[in-house]
């Protein structure tokens, strides 16, 4: 069978996205309430930072605006996993009911077909809040605003996003082997809250875990150092794009391996 290229999958995705948005907009009240809830959740995080720094002008050498920069950076980098991979939360339901078998008979990539069915539009509210927070912190810190800086920001934001996507893909795929896989996925999702803090505030054990075991330090901390502290960039910051791509590839292979082992019998 002839392999299908990017243009084919892009056209398919646009059609699926259009249908998904139409169905969501038919329940506008639910959409509006959910979006407002997402915005207030992020505002609560912003307020917690403000309260914390009223008593502590800096934490382990990190100022309020640098921490705010990390917070905005993490919100933006976490947006793709919420918008484009939210269907991972339903994977275990499809697997246990046996309905996942319907995805196995389409002449397109199984992973693409499953993930593209759902677009969580509420994530756009998080994206807007993250961009606003990042710009506010950027101005207050006094960072240069040049084409090179913008290019670095885009590259490292995209590759940072791959880390959380990879973690969620791998956690969701455990449902092909573990019946109570929800708790695995929920645990991984909760770890994202630590991404908005600099890894240097943790002890050595947690630094190791958050870098090499549960690599949430690559969601915001290491990538953002390229922008925040260009004179002291560690090697882990420079290789974060490679780490992101590698982890995404491995999580994709793990997800597909589980899907190929799926028997379709349900629970």
Query: pLDDT averaged over the chain?
Result: 86
pLDDT at 27: 67
Cβ-count burial 218-237 (b if 16+ within 10 Å, e if not): bbbbbbbbbbbeeeeeeebb
Percent of the chain with pLDDT over 70: 91
The angle at the Cα of 164, spanning 163 to 170, to the nearest 5 degrees, equals: 90
How far apart, in whole angstroms, are the C-alpha atoms of residue 119 and residue 25?
Answer: 12
**Beta strands in the chain, from DSSP E residues, in sequence order:** 58-59, 62-63
Q: What is the pLDDT of residue 267?
A: 42
Q: Are 172 and 185 in contact (CB under 8 A)?
A: yes
pLDDT value of residue 266: 47
Q: Mean pLDDT, to the nearest integer, of 23-51?
A: 72
DSSP string, 181-235: THHHHHHHHHGGGGGGS-GGGS-HHHHHIIIIIS-GGGTTHHHHHHHH-TTS--H
Question: pTM for the full model?
Answer: 0.85
| Residue 250: predicted pLDDT | 96
CB 65 within 8 A of CB 140: yes
Residue 56 DSSP SS3 = coil
pLDDT mean over 111-120: 90
Backbone φ and ψ for 220, nearest 5 degrees, come out as -140, -45
Q: Is the pLDDT of residue 56 over 90?
A: no
Taking only the tens place, the pLDDT of each residue in 173-206 is 999 998 888 999 999 988 888 888 889 888 899 9
Which of 7-16, 80-89, 169-178 is predicted with the least confidence, judged by mean pLDDT?
Answer: 7-16
Annotate 142-163 with DSSP letters as a single string.
T----HHHHHHHHHHHHHHHHH
């Amino acid at each position: 069978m002839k392999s299908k290229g990017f243009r084919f999958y892009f056209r398919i995705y646009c059609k699926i996205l259009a249908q998904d948005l139409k169905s969501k907009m038919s329940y506008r009240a639910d959409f509006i309430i959910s979006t407002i809830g997402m915005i207030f959740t992020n505002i609560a995080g912003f307020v917690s930072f403000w309260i914390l720094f009223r008593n502590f002008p800096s934490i382990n050498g990190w100022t309020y605006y640098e921490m705010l920069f990390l917070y905005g950076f993490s919100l933006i980098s976490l947006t793709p996993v919420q918008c484009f991979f939210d269907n991972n939360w339903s994977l275990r339901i499809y697997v246990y009911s046996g309905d996942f078998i319907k995805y196995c008979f389409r002449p397109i990539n199984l992973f693409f077909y499953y993930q593209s069915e759902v677009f969580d539009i509420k994530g756009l509210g998080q994206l807007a809040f993250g961009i606003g927070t990042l710009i506010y912190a950027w101005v207050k810190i006094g960072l240069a605003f040049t084409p090179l800086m913008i290019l670095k920001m885009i590259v490292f934001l995209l590759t940072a996003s791959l880390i959380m996507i990879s973690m969620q893909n791998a956690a969701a795929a455990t449902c092909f082997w573990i019946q109570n896989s929800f708790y695995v996925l929920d645990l991984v999702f909760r770890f994202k809250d630590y991404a908005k803090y600099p890894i240097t505030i943790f002890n050595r054990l947690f630094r190791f875990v958050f870098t090499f075991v549960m690599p949430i330090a690559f969601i915001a901390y290491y990538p953002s150092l390229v922008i925040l502290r260009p004179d002291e960039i560690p090697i882990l910051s420079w290789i974060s794009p490679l780490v992101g791509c590698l982890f995404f590839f491995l999580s994709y292979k793990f997800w597909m391996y589980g899907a190929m082992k799926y028997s379709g019998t349900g629970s």
